[in-house]
Chains A and B, each alone.
Chain A
Amino acid sequence: MTDIFGEDVGPPLGGVFTATQGLKTAWNSPLDERGIVGAAMGIAYAGGRPVCEIQFCDYGFNTIDLLKVAGNQRWAGAGHYSMPIVLMTPSGSGIRGSLYHSHSFESIASRLAGWKIVMPSNPLDAYGLMLSAIADPNPVMVLLPKALLRVRGDKLIPGEPEEEGKLKELIDAPVGDRSRWRPRWPDVQEHFVPLGVGTLVREGSHATVVSYGRTLPLCVQAADQLEKENGWSFDVIDLRSIFPYDWKMISASLMKTGRILIVNEDTEVTNFGEHLLRRVIDEHFYDLLVRPRALMGKHVPGIGLNQVYEKNTVPQLPDIKQAMHELAEEEA
């Protein structure tokens, strides 16, 4: 079963971000999120492997009861069922969407035991994590950072044309009549990013920064700037999977640096990053040179429209750089 369904994921646009444009198996569902998640579960019971979409994670809050059941079902049914569903949904801020197009979801998702949760920070990982999510026999939530849904990555998908704009020409529907348009898919190869495995995006010795999604490229930029300006070098870990997460990678880096900062934009009360901090303290208290830190979104009900609200609510490049500066600078 390769069905991809959700609100407007089929023609004409292939979703709000055109992420499923031109895919033959993408079809438009009724406007009903609980119906979407519940139907995906039913398809899975019948042996299918559906991919469903919640148009923005902000509209996933009313599906929590079903998400809960999806995570429970195999365990509670003593393994009689498997639940190979993929739920993809755009998450986080950065599109000036105001209150209900800017929420994050990963902390709430991380409380749904039985789910695997991933969040890529670039197109190649998005592709690789999506393939792994589809292949996985369990419920996997793919959180796509809204702010990055239209960026071109530094690393190409194997088989993706190198020339900028070429891919667009092949797979983006033209403006105007599209009734006869068909995408010309490049001959891309499979590429799997294993679930639960992070990646070290920058290697350094002074301190460790753990992030994912929208804030990850900002951490990388900050690391590059601080290396130039202050000579500090950072391990920047792109966690990629929120559950299961790559504790081995975090732990090994921390043993090397003794300094750690966790960065994400979900609200800070309570945040998945706080779980990581707790584990850092439990297992690495005596390895720490300075207090461990987390930089997260403010605990406010939403992100306001005006950019003053957004900038003050979720970490921006200067906030991240300052936090990394303080982490590296503090006397041990």
Chain B
Amino acid sequence: MARAYPSDKIKSPVHLSIGQEAASVGVCAALEPEDVVFGTYRCHALYLAKGGDLKAMIAELYGKVTGCARGKGGSMHLIGTEVGMHGASAVVGTTIANAIGHAYALKYQKKNALVVSFFGDGATEEGVFGESLNFAVLKQLPIIFVCENNQYAIHTHQSRRQGKPNVCARAEAYGIPAERIEHGDVLYLYERIKALAPKVRGGGPHFLEVMTYRWQEHVGPNRDFQLGYRTEDEMHPWVENDQVDRLKHMVDGPRRAKLEEEVEEEIAAAFAFAESSPVPPAEELYADIFKESHS
């Protein structure tokens, strides 16, 4: 995507997940199909990890009518309810409360599923964060909170925004067991979710702070170290510790080559699909505002 962006065919601003894939992958790989996730505008990795359709995603970024939101939302609003990706929002914090409501419904419908709510470190400063934690504890909901802590909200470091930059301590203060996963260790995260899921399904929230690092600029395809709010040295250990690379080296040479080829093909096909898809016709403007009611 970062490579394709300069062509200006991607019509959407993009908040790339590069460097942060582990949080989505480690969690989603351990979930069941009927489990549900809610995310943020930085949702490419989450959408794909939960099984979202790559073609519909790229078409959405192109603003095409074949996109998962019919070209209305773009990168920040990927949605795939058929795979339990219940949406992302450009408005920081909003989906945390929605995830709570969904978990409440699952519990009272006696479903055996759980909800995972993904959000950034910045989102924990919105009032809705605390409000949602309180509700989750009060109702002992089947929800896992995953704070993807990349330490920045746009250009401002966590320590310059939070008087007590310890997200887990705040979750614990509300009565939710919380743990921090250093280095964004994807396999450890997977194991933790596997172990936690049965307990959470029975009711009772859990909180994970997954440490991670955003490699690209806040929004856009490039690096932004020239702005001076963070340094390349700070990113360096994260690149060394790249979880994509780590998994890659766990697969033997010939199989890896074959996998890489298949993935490249899938990506090329998705871009070709997006390019050849039509733009939304004018009538689409009023489509899907209301559901027709049949009494």
Report whether B284 and A96 are in contact in the complex, using a CB–CB cutoff of 8 Å: no
Report whether A308 and B281 are in contact in the complex, using a CB–CB cutoff of 8 Å: yes
Q: How far in angstroms is the closest Cβ of chain A from B170?
A: 13
B25, CB-defined interface residue at 8 Å: no
**Complex CA–CA separation, A62 to B92 (angstroms):** 11
Q: How far in angstroms is the closest Cβ of chain B from A315?
A: 14
Q: How far in angstroms is the closest Cβ of chain B from A21?
A: 11
A-contact bits for B11-30, CB 8 A (1 contact / 0 none): 11100000000000000000
A156, CB-defined interface residue at 8 Å: no
Chain B residues whose C-beta falls within 8 Å of the C-beta of A33 in the assembled complex = 126
A170, CB-defined interface residue at 8 Å: no
Report whether A12 and B155 are in contact in the complex, using a CB–CB cutoff of 8 Å: yes
Given known pairs A13-B155, A32-B127, the reply for A306 and B227 (CB within 8 Å) is no
Given known pairs A7-B153, A28-B156, A32-B127, the reply for A309 and B71 (CB within 8 Å) is yes
**Complex CA–CA separation, A306 to B279 (angstroms):** 7
Considering only residues 300-321 of chain A, those with a C-beta below 8 Å from chain B are 300-302, 304-309, 312-313
Given known pairs A305-B71, A309-B280, the reply for A31 and B153 (CB within 8 Å) is yes
Considering only residues 49-87 of chain B, those with a C-beta below 8 Å from chain A are 60, 63-65, 71-74, 76-77
B285, CB-defined interface residue at 8 Å: yes
A164, CB-defined interface residue at 8 Å: no
B4, CB-defined interface residue at 8 Å: no
Report whether A13 and B11 are in contact in the complex, using a CB–CB cutoff of 8 Å: no
Question: How many residues from B make CB contacts under 8 Å with A?
Answer: 42
Chain A residues whose C-beta falls within 8 Å of the C-beta of B286 in the assembled complex = 300
Contact size class for A?
35 or more
B262, CB-defined interface residue at 8 Å: no
Report whether B155 and A305 are in contact in the complex, using a CB–CB cutoff of 8 Å: no
Given known pairs A12-B155, A176-B226, the reply for A98 and B73 (CB within 8 Å) is yes
B208, CB-defined interface residue at 8 Å: no
Partner of B226, one of A16, A96, A175: A175
Chain B residues whose C-beta falls within 8 Å of the C-beta of A30 in the assembled complex = 125, 161-162
Given known pairs A32-B126, A300-B289, the reply for A99 and B228 (CB within 8 Å) is no
A11, CB-defined interface residue at 8 Å: yes
Report whether A32 and B125 are in contact in the complex, using a CB–CB cutoff of 8 Å: yes
Report whether A31 and B284 are in contact in the complex, using a CB–CB cutoff of 8 Å: no
Considering only residues 77-136 of chain A, those with a C-beta below 8 Å from chain B are 96-101
Report whether A7 and B154 are in contact in the complex, using a CB–CB cutoff of 8 Å: yes
B-contact bits for A39-62, CB 8 A (1 contact / 0 none): 000000000000000000011001
Chain B residues whose C-beta falls within 8 Å of the C-beta of A28 in the assembled complex = 155-156, 160-161
Report whether A305 and B74 are in contact in the complex, using a CB–CB cutoff of 8 Å: yes
Q: Residue of A at shortest CB range from B123?
A: A31
Q: Residue of A at shortest CB range from B70?
A: A304
**Complex CA–CA separation, A176 to B232 (angstroms):** 13
**Complex CA–CA separation, A47 to B152 (angstroms):** 33
Q: How far in angstroms is the closest Cβ of chain B from A108?
A: 16
Partner of B156, one of A7, A59, A96, A308: A7
Report whether A305 and B63 are in contact in the complex, using a CB–CB cutoff of 8 Å: yes
B90, CB-defined interface residue at 8 Å: yes
Report whether A99 and B76 are in contact in the complex, using a CB–CB cutoff of 8 Å: yes
B89, CB-defined interface residue at 8 Å: yes
Chain A residues whose C-beta falls within 8 Å of the C-beta of B250 in the assembled complex = none
**Complex CA–CA separation, A34 to B125 (angstroms):** 10
**Complex CA–CA separation, A307 to B161 (angstroms):** 36
B247, CB-defined interface residue at 8 Å: no
Partner of A308, one of B92, B123, B155, B284: B284
A-contact bits for B125-156, CB 8 A (1 contact / 0 none): 11110000000000000000000000001111
**Complex CA–CA separation, A13 to B125 (angstroms):** 21
Partner of B72, one of A62, A101, A302: A302
Partner of A8, one of B91, B123, B154: B154
Q: How far in angstroms is the closest Cβ of chain B from A56?
A: 9
Q: Considering the complex of A and B, which 9 residue pairs feature the smallest CB-CB distances, nearest first?
A: A306-B63, A100-B90, A304-B72, A305-B74, A306-B71, A31-B122, A30-B125, A31-B125, A98-B74
Sample of 17 more A-B contacts, CB < 8 Å, known A13-B155, A97-B13, A300-B285: A8-B153, A11-B155, A12-B229, A28-B156, A31-B122, A100-B91, A178-B228, A179-B228, A304-B63, A304-B71, A305-B60, A305-B63, A306-B65, A307-B11, A307-B63, A308-B285, A309-B71
Interface residues of A (CB under 8 A from B): 7-8, 10-13, 16, 28-35, 58-59, 62, 96-101, 175-179, 298, 300-302, 304-309, 312-313
**Contact sample, A vs B, 30 pairs, CB 8 Å cutoff:** A7-B154, A7-B156, A8-B154, A28-B160, A30-B161, A31-B122, A31-B125, A31-B161, A35-B125, A58-B90, A62-B91, A97-B13, A98-B73, A98-B76, A178-B227, A300-B285, A300-B286, A301-B289, A302-B72, A304-B63, A304-B72, A305-B11, A305-B63, A306-B65, A306-B280, A308-B279, A308-B280, A309-B71, A309-B285, A312-B282
